Amino acid sequence: MTDTGLFIDGVAITLEGREILSLTRKVAPGEVLTVMGPSGAGKSTLLAYIGGVLDSVFSTTGRVFVDGVDVTALKPEDRHMGVLFQDPLLFPHMSVGGNLMFALPEAVRGRAKRAAHVAHALEGVGLAGLENRDPATLSGGQKARVALARVLVSSPRALLLDEPFSKLDADLRAQTRELVFSKARDSGLPVLLVTHDEADAEAACGDIVRIGA
Amino acid sequence: MLTRLGPILAIGLLTVPVLFGLAGTILPAFGYLPALGGTSFNLAPFQRLFAEPAIFMSALMSLAAGLVTAAFSLLTVMLFTAAWGGTRIFVRIQHLLSPLLSVPHAATAFALAFLIAPSGLIARMISPELTGWQRPPDLLIIHDPLGLSMMAGLIVKEIPFLLLVTLAALPQVKPARMRALIASMGYGRISGFVFGLWPSIYPQIRLPVFAVIAFATSVVDVAAILGPTTPAPLAVRLVNWMNDPDLSMRFLASAGAILQLGVTAAAVVIWIGLERIGARVRERLACAGRRFRRDGVLRLGALAVMLASAGAIFAGMTALALWSVAGLWQYPDVLPARFELRNWMRVLPNLMEPLATTLSVALVSTVIAVVIAILCFAREDQTARPPGRGALTVLYLPLLVPQVAFLFGLQLLFILAGMEATWTALVFAHLVFVLPYAWLSLRDPWRAFDRRYDQIAAGLGKGPVRRFFIIRLPMLARPLLAVAAIGFSVSIGLYLPTVLVGAGRLTTITTEAVALASGGNRRVIGIYAFMQMLLPAAGFAVATIVPALIFRRYRDMHV
């Protein structure tokens, strides 16, 4: 069982000789590790490193494993780390369904089968039948849910959440948070959440790491 | 990686033609050109050059044209931005001027000529009531010996350009907040801007200002249409020598090109001196705390000059369009007695071949330039290293070195390579000038793209090629097409590179139009100049309509 989940093994990130953060943690499938810290503490840097998109001005040591596979040297597109940002960032030139179709792995073949997958994913976030909508016409909460459906339908190995609830108003925030965590739990995805909101950390019901304090 | 090629191609395309071209100009200038029997280095070409009549008058005229054009346009833009920045009028004028940026220099010059000539639109409007003229008076308004109408023709074209580069630099200095802060200290609008904001804006637009000086000191097309003739500005005489059937004139022309290089360099050095003096005066006034609150007259003056320069081009373009369809049009009638399409029907068959060359060269050089620019920026994303000051200077190189100085040599190299007057050589020559504009105008939209879209797509398992073609390219379709339209209009307007590399055998609408200038057939000139304005406008129309149609379903893809 030690092989499953996300394993951050002795990761240290330095910028111009100054260490920004160092971390060793395991996140089991379905669990959430919350990384907290003030803005500028390097939370997003950690996510960029794990996602494989860190700017080359940073130097790094350590390794990242997903389900026992060392992904440290892999290209970002081969890591399958689903990302959610504080903005939904739906592709504005594609319909809601188009966004999900783009995310759906190629392994799912056949037009009907792919459409069924997408419909199912939208249903799962309570947005059944919105395939043909222009993302620009959705409400803020709907956009956040489409973004969630999009990342889930891509069959990621882990979820990286970069303050994904901070732009939603209080009501919507609790709701969306609940949806994201329950979906991750159901799919057995290890989740790395960075935030500066204590309520996010509490709702995550997992370990909390504080950095840059 | 393919992107590695981007910067290499860009640097090569911008430096190699300029450096080899310069070499190809310098060697014949000192008598060395084996193909024409010059096998030893000597100063004979320069002796011949300085024996040419009124050569120093020509050089002086070029020097003055560069300095006056740059100073007048820059002051106008500075005062106008100071006086009206952040107001509705400013936005209106900005919208009014930006289409003028794409009108070729030659077309602007024709527009002005058709407006201010003794038989032009203005004279017709006030005659005979105010002037008593029943016939066009014998006044030397265009081709005036002081070169004033030539400078005016350059100024009305450079004002939109300098306004655009100023607007691009403006947001970085946070104008609204700074303006409020400085106003709270009791400074007038203009003095507050000049003391507080201009010093951080000017360094960013300095290279474009130098480009204006380099262009105006060595301009050929505008000078041929509006400039003095006895003597003509230096560059005009050089091109005449270069095109002389007597090939030995090439030594003289090359020596003249070196003089041109000196004239442009002198203009830039004088300008740097003026910059110092200007900065000193500004510092002294600012340290004295002079508020200059009563700047109403200057504010109105800046607005008036701005409106006049835009108005002149629009009115002149109207005159051009009228002439192209004019039947009988007697002096001093304001409008033609009859409109007819006969002029067009007659000219159209001759127009086809230059039109085909114009369009194919513009399209191909633009596509290549945009692709190279994209590769450069993609490379920059990969290495996370933005280019330094040096790279920017390289980019401006073809715009800072007077065109004649390296195009003479480049033409020679093409002749030696057996590529003279070929379509490929013409595309290559245009690319040298289109690429800087493509790069500069793509920079901001490319950097404004939210890179998190890329991260998301990577997280969804998409590789770089698909991320580029499915996400970034469509999302940047609108700015990319706008960049292409700019490149297209630059290519359409290029005169000297086309004349020299095309060697009279490959002609474009622009070279044909300028060649007609001396003939004085207003109807035919009207048609060619109208086409010159029409083509860039068509390019911008396509760049606006196509993405609007493709993405009509998606609201966030509209502007």
Give one DSSP letter per residue of B150-205, joined into a string: HHHHHHHHHHHHHHHHHHHHGGGG-HHHHHHHHHHTT--HHHHHHHHTHHHHHHHH
End-to-end CA distance of chain A: 33
A110 domain residue, yes or no: no
Helix B403-416 and helix B249-287, axial crossing angle in degrees, nearest 10: 150
A79's enclosing H/E stretch is: helix A76-79
Cβ contacts of B452 on chain A, cutoff 8 Å:
83, 85, 87, 89
**Fold exhibited by the domain B1-24+350-559:** MetI-like fold (1.10.3720)
Reported confidence tier of residue A213, pLDDT bands at 50, 70, 90:
low
pLDDT score of B1: 67
End-to-end CA distance of chain B: 34
pLDDT score of A150: 94
Alpha carbon distance B154, B73 (integer Å): 9
pLDDT at residue B469 greater than cutoff 50 = yes
pLDDT at residue A35 greater than cutoff 60 = yes
pLDDT score of A1: 43
For CA atoms B97, B102, B106, B107, give the dihedral sign. negative
Reported confidence tier of residue A2, pLDDT bands at 50, 70, 90:
low
To 10 degrees, the CA torsion angle through B160, B165, B167, B170?
-150
A21 domain residue, yes or no: yes
Alpha carbon distance B528, A149 (integer Å): 58
What are the distances in angstroms from CA B356 to CA B359, B363, B507?
Answer: 5, 11, 10
Number of domains observed in the structure of chain A: 1
Contact between B198 and B173 (Cβ < 8 Å): no
Q: Tens digit of pLDDT for each residue in A86-106?
A: 899 999 999 999 999 999 999
Q: Tens digit of pLDDT for each residue in A8-30?
A: 998 999 988 888 888 899 999 98
DSSP lists the bridge partners of residue A6 as A27, A66
A18 domain residue, yes or no: yes
**Fold exhibited by the domain B60-117+135-233+264-317:** MetI-like fold (1.10.3720)
Shortest Cα–Cα distance, A136 to chain B (Å): 6
Q: Is A97 on the interface with B (CB under 8 A)?
A: no
Q: Which amino acid is at A134?
A: D
Domain-wise residue ranges, chain B? 1-24+350-559, 60-117+135-233+264-317
Q: Is A95 on the interface with B (CB under 8 A)?
A: yes
Alpha carbon distance B163, B288 (integer Å): 29
pLDDT score of B537: 93
What would the two tokens of residue B323 be?
């002439």
pLDDT at residue B13 greater than cutoff 80 = yes
A92 domain residue, yes or no: no
Reported confidence tier of residue B301, pLDDT bands at 50, 70, 90:
very high
Alpha carbon distance B406, B412 (integer Å): 10
CB contact under 8 A, B475 and A92: yes
Q: Mean pLDDT of all residues in chain A?
A: 90
pLDDT score of B519: 82
Other CB atoms within a 10 A radius of the CB of residue B175 amount to 17
pLDDT at residue B283 greater than cutoff 60 = yes
B466's enclosing H/E stretch is: helix B464-466
Contact between B262 and B179 (Cβ < 8 Å): no
Domain that holds residue A67: 6-80+156-210
Shortest Cα–Cα distance, B552 to chain A (Å): 9
Helix, strand, coil shares of chain A, percent, nearest 5, are 35, 25, 40
A153's enclosing H/E stretch is: helix A140-153
Q: Which A residues, 144 through 163, put their C-beta within 8 Å of a C-beta on chain B? A: 150-151, 154, 156, 160
A23 domain residue, yes or no: yes
What are the distances in angstroms from CA A75 to CA A59, A81, B455, B459, B464?
Answer: 17, 11, 11, 10, 10
Q: Tens digit of pLDDT for each residue in B70-105?
A: 999 999 999 999 999 889 999 999 988 888 888 999
User: Considering CB atoms only, which of A55, A95, A102 is closest to B460?
Assistant: A102
Contact between B74 and B209 (Cβ < 8 Å): yes
Other CB atoms within a 10 A radius of the CB of residue A39 amount to 9
Domains B1-24+350-559 and B60-117+135-233+264-317 share a fold: yes
Contact between B252 and B43 (Cβ < 8 Å): no
Q: Which ipTM was obtained for this model?
A: 0.89
Q: Hunting for tokens 């024409």 — which residue is that? A: B36
Shortest Cα–Cα distance, B463 to chain A (Å): 5
Contact between A131 and A116 (Cβ < 8 Å): no
Is this model's pTM higher than 0.80 or not? yes
Reported confidence tier of residue B296, pLDDT bands at 50, 70, 90:
confident
User: Which residue, among B237, B204, B99, B233, has the nearest Cα to B161 in the 3D structure?
Assistant: B99
Residue of chain A whose Cα is closest to the Cα of B473: A93
CB neighbours of B111 closer than 8 A, spacing ≥ 6? B103, B312, B313, B315, B316, B317, B319, B320, B529
CATH of the domain at A186: 3.40.50.300
Shortest Cα–Cα distance, A135 to chain B (Å): 8
DSSP lists the bridge partners of residue B555 as none
